[in-house]
Amino acid sequence: MMQDLTEIHSFLGCETPDRWLENALANQDVMLIDHAHCEKKAAMTAVNMIHRYPNDPELLMKMSRLAREELRHFEQVLKFIRQRKLKFTQMRGARYAVELRKLVRKKEPEQVVDLMVIGAFIEARSCERFAKLAPHLDAELGGFYSSLLKSEARHYQDYLKLAGNYAGDSLVERIALFREKEQELIVSPDKMFRFHSGPILV
Protein backbone atom coordinates (compact mmCIF):
# COMPACT_ATOMS: atom_id res chain seq x y z
CA MET A 1 0.00 0.00 0.00
CA MET A 2 1.32 3.44 -0.97
CA GLN A 3 2.46 5.52 2.00
CA ASP A 4 0.53 8.68 2.87
CA LEU A 5 2.64 11.54 1.52
CA THR A 6 0.47 14.43 2.74
CA GLU A 7 3.27 15.81 4.92
CA ILE A 8 5.80 15.51 2.10
CA HIS A 9 3.53 17.35 -0.34
CA SER A 10 2.91 20.09 2.23
CA PHE A 11 6.65 20.52 2.75
CA LEU A 12 7.48 20.75 -0.95
CA GLY A 13 6.55 23.85 -2.90
CA CYS A 14 5.15 21.99 -5.90
CA GLU A 15 4.53 18.58 -7.41
CA THR A 16 6.83 17.09 -10.01
CA PRO A 17 5.60 18.20 -13.47
CA ASP A 18 3.96 15.54 -15.63
CA ARG A 19 6.48 16.33 -18.35
CA TRP A 20 9.32 15.13 -16.07
CA LEU A 21 7.43 11.88 -15.53
CA GLU A 22 7.20 11.44 -19.30
CA ASN A 23 10.95 12.10 -19.56
CA ALA A 24 11.68 9.51 -16.87
CA LEU A 25 9.56 6.79 -18.45
CA ALA A 26 11.22 7.43 -21.81
CA ASN A 27 14.72 7.32 -20.27
CA GLN A 28 14.57 4.54 -17.70
CA ASP A 29 18.17 3.45 -18.33
CA VAL A 30 19.46 6.94 -17.55
CA MET A 31 17.08 7.17 -14.60
CA LEU A 32 18.44 3.98 -13.03
CA ILE A 33 22.09 4.90 -13.45
CA ASP A 34 21.51 8.40 -12.09
CA HIS A 35 19.44 6.96 -9.25
CA ALA A 36 22.41 4.79 -8.27
CA HIS A 37 24.62 7.89 -8.24
CA CYS A 38 22.04 9.69 -6.07
CA GLU A 39 22.08 6.89 -3.50
CA LYS A 40 25.88 6.88 -3.47
CA LYS A 41 26.01 10.67 -3.02
CA ALA A 42 23.43 10.51 -0.23
CA ALA A 43 25.56 8.01 1.67
CA MET A 44 28.68 10.13 1.13
CA THR A 45 26.85 13.23 2.37
CA ALA A 46 25.81 11.46 5.56
CA VAL A 47 29.36 10.23 6.21
CA ASN A 48 30.66 13.75 5.58
CA MET A 49 28.21 15.07 8.19
CA ILE A 50 29.61 12.57 10.69
CA HIS A 51 33.11 13.81 9.92
CA ARG A 52 32.21 17.50 10.15
CA TYR A 53 30.05 17.42 13.27
CA PRO A 54 31.54 14.75 15.58
CA ASN A 55 30.27 16.36 18.80
CA ASP A 56 26.55 15.91 18.15
CA PRO A 57 25.47 12.42 19.31
CA GLU A 58 22.01 12.64 17.72
CA LEU A 59 23.46 13.72 14.39
CA LEU A 60 26.03 10.90 14.50
CA MET A 61 23.40 8.24 15.06
CA LYS A 62 20.93 9.54 12.47
CA MET A 63 23.59 10.05 9.81
CA SER A 64 25.18 6.66 10.48
CA ARG A 65 21.85 4.92 9.99
CA LEU A 66 21.08 7.00 6.93
CA ALA A 67 24.45 6.20 5.33
CA ARG A 68 23.92 2.46 5.81
CA GLU A 69 20.44 2.61 4.31
CA GLU A 70 21.55 4.67 1.32
CA LEU A 71 24.39 2.24 0.58
CA ARG A 72 21.92 -0.62 0.77
CA HIS A 73 19.70 1.21 -1.72
CA PHE A 74 22.77 1.78 -3.90
CA GLU A 75 23.39 -1.98 -3.97
CA GLN A 76 19.74 -2.64 -4.82
CA VAL A 77 19.77 -0.19 -7.73
CA LEU A 78 23.01 -1.71 -9.00
CA LYS A 79 21.19 -5.05 -9.09
CA PHE A 80 18.51 -3.58 -11.37
CA ILE A 81 21.24 -2.08 -13.55
CA ARG A 82 22.91 -5.49 -13.94
CA GLN A 83 19.60 -7.26 -14.59
CA ARG A 84 18.90 -4.88 -17.45
CA LYS A 85 22.40 -5.39 -18.85
CA LEU A 86 23.28 -1.75 -18.32
CA LYS A 87 26.65 -0.42 -17.22
CA PHE A 88 27.12 1.77 -14.17
CA THR A 89 29.27 4.61 -15.45
CA GLN A 90 30.24 8.12 -14.44
CA MET A 91 27.47 10.57 -15.16
CA ARG A 92 27.28 14.33 -15.07
CA GLY A 93 25.06 15.36 -12.17
CA ALA A 94 21.98 17.55 -12.25
CA ARG A 95 22.09 21.25 -11.43
CA TYR A 96 19.68 20.61 -8.54
CA ALA A 97 21.96 20.11 -5.52
CA VAL A 98 24.62 22.48 -6.85
CA GLU A 99 22.13 25.33 -7.14
CA LEU A 100 20.62 24.65 -3.71
CA ARG A 101 24.06 24.68 -2.09
CA LYS A 102 24.74 28.15 -3.46
CA LEU A 103 22.35 29.41 -0.76
CA VAL A 104 24.28 27.80 2.11
CA ARG A 105 25.65 30.28 4.64
CA LYS A 106 29.36 30.13 5.56
CA LYS A 107 29.27 30.49 9.35
CA GLU A 108 28.22 27.91 11.92
CA PRO A 109 25.69 26.96 13.15
CA GLU A 110 23.95 28.60 10.16
CA GLN A 111 25.82 26.36 7.73
CA VAL A 112 24.73 23.08 9.32
CA VAL A 113 21.13 24.34 9.39
CA ASP A 114 21.18 25.03 5.65
CA LEU A 115 22.85 21.71 4.84
CA MET A 116 20.22 19.85 6.83
CA VAL A 117 17.39 21.77 5.17
CA ILE A 118 18.83 20.87 1.75
CA GLY A 119 19.02 17.25 2.85
CA ALA A 120 15.37 17.39 3.85
CA PHE A 121 14.33 18.76 0.45
CA ILE A 122 16.38 16.19 -1.46
CA GLU A 123 14.87 13.30 0.51
CA ALA A 124 11.33 14.71 0.31
CA ARG A 125 11.60 15.26 -3.45
CA SER A 126 13.01 11.76 -3.93
CA CYS A 127 10.11 10.33 -1.97
CA GLU A 128 7.58 12.29 -4.03
CA ARG A 129 9.16 11.17 -7.30
CA PHE A 130 9.36 7.51 -6.29
CA ALA A 131 5.63 7.64 -5.54
CA LYS A 132 4.89 9.34 -8.84
CA LEU A 133 6.95 6.83 -10.82
CA ALA A 134 5.99 3.57 -9.12
CA PRO A 135 2.53 3.03 -10.69
CA HIS A 136 3.96 3.46 -14.21
CA LEU A 137 6.90 1.06 -13.95
CA ASP A 138 7.11 -2.71 -14.32
CA ALA A 139 6.02 -4.65 -11.24
CA GLU A 140 9.52 -5.34 -9.90
CA LEU A 141 10.93 -1.83 -10.26
CA GLY A 142 7.64 -0.22 -9.26
CA GLY A 143 7.51 -2.38 -6.15
CA PHE A 144 11.08 -1.43 -5.28
CA TYR A 145 10.37 2.28 -5.65
CA SER A 146 7.26 1.94 -3.49
CA SER A 147 9.37 0.19 -0.84
CA LEU A 148 11.71 3.20 -0.68
CA LEU A 149 8.99 5.64 0.39
CA LYS A 150 9.12 4.84 4.10
CA SER A 151 12.88 5.27 4.43
CA GLU A 152 12.99 8.40 2.27
CA ALA A 153 10.23 9.99 4.35
CA ARG A 154 12.11 9.13 7.54
CA HIS A 155 15.33 10.61 6.14
CA TYR A 156 13.49 13.84 5.36
CA GLN A 157 12.19 13.94 8.94
CA ASP A 158 15.65 13.22 10.37
CA TYR A 159 17.24 16.06 8.42
CA LEU A 160 14.47 18.45 9.44
CA LYS A 161 14.75 17.46 13.12
CA LEU A 162 18.51 18.04 13.10
CA ALA A 163 18.05 21.41 11.37
CA GLY A 164 15.58 22.42 14.07
CA ASN A 165 18.06 21.52 16.80
CA TYR A 166 20.40 24.24 15.52
CA ALA A 167 18.08 26.77 13.89
CA GLY A 168 15.54 27.63 16.55
CA ASP A 169 13.06 30.24 15.36
CA SER A 170 14.87 30.85 12.07
CA LEU A 171 14.04 27.40 10.62
CA VAL A 172 10.74 28.47 9.05
CA GLU A 173 12.48 31.31 7.23
CA ARG A 174 15.25 29.06 5.88
CA ILE A 175 12.77 26.41 4.74
CA ALA A 176 10.80 29.08 2.87
CA LEU A 177 13.95 30.31 1.13
CA PHE A 178 15.04 26.85 0.01
CA ARG A 179 11.48 25.87 -0.93
CA GLU A 180 11.28 28.77 -3.38
CA LYS A 181 14.60 27.82 -5.00
CA GLU A 182 13.77 24.10 -5.06
CA GLN A 183 10.44 24.78 -6.75
CA GLU A 184 12.17 26.89 -9.41
CA LEU A 185 14.59 24.03 -10.16
CA ILE A 186 11.81 21.44 -10.33
CA VAL A 187 9.42 23.29 -12.65
CA SER A 188 11.82 25.19 -14.94
CA PRO A 189 13.09 23.49 -18.12
CA ASP A 190 16.37 21.61 -17.85
CA LYS A 191 19.00 20.74 -20.46
CA MET A 192 19.39 17.06 -19.56
CA PHE A 193 17.24 14.46 -17.84
CA ARG A 194 18.26 13.36 -14.37
CA PHE A 195 16.40 12.01 -11.36
CA HIS A 196 16.38 15.50 -9.80
CA SER A 197 16.23 17.54 -13.01
CA GLY A 198 13.48 19.80 -14.17
CA PRO A 199 11.44 18.78 -17.22
CA ILE A 200 13.13 18.39 -20.59
CA LEU A 201 10.92 20.10 -23.13
CA VAL A 202 12.61 19.03 -26.39
Span 105-151, pLDDT tens digits:
999 999 999 999 999 999 999 999 999 999 999 999 999 999 999 99
Kindly report the CATH class assigned to 17-187. mainly alpha
Cis, bond preceding 199 (omega within 30 deg of 0): no
- The answer to pTM > 0.75 is yes
Who's near 21: CB < 8 A, 6+ residues apart? Answer: 132, 133, 136
How many Cβ atoms sit within 10 Å of the Cβ of residue 54? 10
Q: pLDDT, tens digit, for every residue of 5-53?
A: 999 999 999 999 999 999 999 999 999 999 999 999 999 999 999 999 9
Q: pLDDT, tens digit, for every residue of 48-86?
A: 999 999 999 999 999 999 999 999 999 999 999 999 999
Domain segments of the chain as ranges? 17-187
